[in-house]
Amino acid sequence: MSYFLILIEKHLAEKVDIIAYCLMNNHFHLIVKLIEDGTVVSQAFSNLFNAYAKAFNKQQNRTGSLFEKHFKRKKILDETYLKNSIIYVHSNPVNHKVVKSLKDYSFSSYNYYFSNENNKSILSRSEILRLFDSIDNFDMVHKQKSDLDLDLQGRGLDLQGFENLAGNQTKEQNDNPNFKDKFYQYIQTLQDTITSNLETVDGKATFREDIWERPEGGGGRTRVIENGHVFEKGGVNISGVHGKLPKSMQAYFNVGDVDFFACGLSLVLHPKNPMVPTVHANWRYFEMYNADGKIVDSWFGGGQDLTPYYLFEEDAIHFHKTCKTACDKHNPDFYKTYKTKCDEYFWNAHRNEARGVGGLFFDYCKATKTMTMENWYNFVTEIGNSFLECYIPIVEKRKDLPYSKEQRDWQEIRRGRYVEFNLVHDKGTLFGLKTNGRIESILMSLPPHVQWVYDHQPEAGSEEEKLLDVLKKPVDWV
């Protein structure tokens, strides 16, 4: 636990003021006041948890996720609620019968406020004095917790919403949702889920992690897998970037000099076996602000699509059916609409063929009379959560099929068409290049081995020609 406190100071100092904490054997609580932007703080917490998990796993000679449940947080707007939350956090060791007195527990901020050796780089003593007037009153109020509980109930506030952050249903205070922070936290969790599952499927390679910062604002977390049993190369990246919208993008969006924020998860997986299709997915959120910092426009976007080298019709049907099931939970027209947009978007115009067998593509999903931003958030996260079910069963079915050198050559020739689309047509690649994005992360989508063979034509009646025939005209797979 002492090491966890050291990591808290390393990763959270100057980004938050820590008002209270309590570290227990199987969970912890932190109450913080944000100094930096919420996205910066989310990334700092992610770095903290990753650093601790790596150190713990190394010490215990173990692998995998350390935390059973995902990190959750709650925005506190009421000062009385904040006071009671601080008392609840400090009371954890007594409530769980670890100690009889608050002062008997070492890994809580409670004792720090009575010590002359208070570590000011970790705790915000001034905030406690402002809330409780003095340390004596701070101590007295902790002993009179029941009085505060009655006061909260009389004002219609409920500490249960704070107590159940570990995962149970809670009674939340109503405030305007911050989709920027909410969605960034979602993609952090989704990245963990996807990479963990892909490592299990591969059975050999693991993801290498690279945390980076963008000089103009923001940063991200790149995870790359290479030379595995299944995946020759792949990446699952998240980023949250902000700053002045570049002139080139101002013209694209038809706006003036504005600030922007963009975050998203983007992934591409290039399997070794040509019988396993390449897959791409992206889920993103964008905001633009006026001179006063108010949001003037915001939208969600994303999608997922499949690029086979050899056509197994049942795989395409499975992928599309799973996409449709996710869409139908929100609107029965969504699948047809976004399937069509996917066919249109992933069209290699200079080759007059599709990049693959499609999937879903949606963009500029803004609030309307029928779809609030909360509705769009729920839809986009539904699609994100469906990804593993879309793809993993196909990989499991095809990854051990035999293949020849000629089939591998065909895979590399088709990969060339994939590269052409990404560098010529893809909006995400172009946006990253025009906003001074991180080049390693942007070009992560490119496969490691590619061929361009002059005027290559497959044999008539071959499996290769069968694929090209399908790519010439979109197919209704469902």
Q: Among 453, 447, 395, which residue's Cα sits nearest to residue 421?
A: 447
For residue 437, give the 3-state DSSP assignment: coil
Q: How far apart are CA 269 and CA 399, in angstroms?
A: 13
Q: Which residues are the active-site residues?
A: 280
Q: How far apart are CA 181 and CA 402, in angstroms?
A: 46
Q: How far apart are CA 476 and CA 14, in angstroms?
A: 54
Q: How far apart are CA 362 and CA 337, in angstroms?
A: 9
> What are phi and psi for residue 228, nearest 5 degrees?
-85, 180
- Please state the three-class secondary structure of 70-121 as a single string: CCCCCCCCCHHHHHHHHHHHHHHHHHCCCCCCHHHCCCECCHHHHCCCCCCC
Q: How far apart are CA 175 and CA 335, in angstroms?
A: 32
CB 48 within 8 A of CB 12: yes
Dihedral-angle region of residue 415 (phi above 0 means left; psi in -120 to 50 means alpha; beta otherwise): alpha
CB 5 within 8 A of CB 122: yes
Q: How far apart are CA 478 and CA 467, in angstroms?
A: 18
CA neighbours within 13 Å on the CB side: how many for 366? 8
Q: What is the CA radius of gyration of the chain?
A: 26
Q: How far apart are CA 133 and CA 127, in angstroms?
A: 10
